[in-house]
Amino acid sequence: NIKKKKKNNMETLTQLEALVTSIKVDAEKFFDKKNKSAGIRARKSAQELKQVLQELRKEILEESKK
């Protein structure tokens, strides 16, 4: 759940770490146990991860312009 408020870089990195962990757990459940709900959660988290990575990219670009 991406918030539109200004975050610091460490919050973004923490959010990335949590999403990757979540994807790993759900993907393992999907592939190992054929849990379809876990597959849906993994895809949703992967989409959110994409958005957070884009946000991190913007933060890095802003910081490099200072």
Contacts 24+ apart (CB under 8 A), 43-48: 45/19, 48/1, 48/2, 48/19
CA distances from 17 to 22, 35, 48, 53 (A): 9, 23, 12, 11
Quote the pTM value. Answer: 0.79
Residue 17 token pair: 């770490």
pLDDT digits (tens, 9 = 90+) for 45-60: 999 999 999 999 998 9
pLDDT digits (tens, 9 = 90+) for 21-44: 999 999 999 999 999 999 999 999
The label of the residue with tokens 């946000």 reads 55
